[in-house]
């Protein structure tokens, strides 16, 4: 199927439904089904599409990397390193603006991969942002906006696994 305007229907449907019914999981599921229907595979084409998309060697490597990052973050939480860091930074930050700047700085400079940065900065900053009454949505925005733009320019990143699976005619 050639790319055309119908490719924006599933994301727009997901966003509209999320605002209307206030349930992200159902909205995303309906948008995914709409995408499969637009591809012309029918309702039963969803399992086949998932199998084709997720059964590549590159996807397995990417999942392995993400599981390892998750284990690493859980280890930091369980051993108390995140709580120690939070206690250590409390003497430097005295207001909401400083906490936001600290989150921004951590997102920019604690960078191993695009996923690792977000998954580490979020739990580390959560206690501080809660203490200074910064919304979790703002913390999520800070984490995402500071980690995602860096990934194309960093040589050490999970994006290499994604780009390795792209056909040669796709743009980088």
Residues 6+ apart with CB under 8 A from 124: 82, 85, 86, 106
Residue keyed to tokens 């430097």: 92
Q: Tens digits of per-residue pLDDT, 60-76?
A: 887 888 888 889 888 98
Q: What stretches of the chain show up as alpha helix (H) in DSSP?
A: 9-21, 24-39, 45-54, 57-79, 81-89, 96-109, 114-131, 136-147, 159-164
- Residue 140: half-sphere exposure toward Cβ, Cα within 13 Å: 3
Please say whether the beta carbons of 96 and 132 come within 8 A. Answer: yes
pLDDT at position 155 = 56
Report whether pLDDT(1) > 90.
Answer: no
Query: Residues, the chain, total?
Result: 172
Residues 6+ apart with CB under 8 A from 113: 65, 69, 151, 154, 156, 157, 158, 159
pLDDT at position 58 = 77
pLDDT at position 80 = 92
Q: How high does pLDDT run on average in the chain?
A: 80
Distances (CA, A) of 3 to 8, 32, 68, 163, 166: 10, 17, 35, 20, 16
Q: Tens digits of per-residue pLDDT, 76-87?
A: 889 999 889 888
pLDDT at position 171 = 47
For the chain, domain boundaries: 5-54, 57-160
Residue keyed to tokens 């637009």: 38
Report whether pLDDT(140) > 80.
Answer: yes
Q: Tens digits of per-residue pLDDT, 95-139?
A: 999 999 999 988 888 766 667 778 788 888 998 999 999 999 999
Report whether pLDDT(158) > 70.
Answer: no
The sign one gets for the Cα dihedral 32, 33, 35, 40 is: positive
DSSP 8-state code for residue 148: G
Report whether pLDDT(169) > 90.
Answer: no
């Amino acid at each position: 199927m050639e790319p055309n305007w119908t490719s924006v229907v599933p994301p727009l449907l997901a966003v509209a439904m999320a605002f209307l019914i206030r349930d992200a999981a159902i909205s995303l599921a309906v948008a995914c089904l709409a995408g499969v229907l637009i591809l012309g595979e029918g309702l039963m084409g969803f399992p086949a599409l998932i199998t084709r998309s997720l059964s590549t060697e590159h996807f397995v490597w990417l999942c392995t990397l993400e599981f390892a990052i998750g284990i690493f973050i859980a280890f930091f939480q369980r051993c108390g390193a995140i709580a120690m860091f939070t206690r250590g930074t409390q003497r430097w930050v005295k207001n909401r603006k400083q906490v936001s700047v600290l989150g921004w700085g951590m997102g920019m400079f604690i960078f191993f991969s695009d996923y690792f940065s977000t998954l580490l900065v979020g739990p580390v900053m959560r206690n501080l942002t809660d203490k200074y009454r910064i919304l979790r949505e703002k913390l999520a925005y800070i984490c995402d906006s500071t980690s995602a733009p860096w990934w194309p320019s960093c040589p050490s990143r999970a994006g290499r696994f994604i780009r390795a699976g792209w056909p040669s005619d796709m743009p980088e």
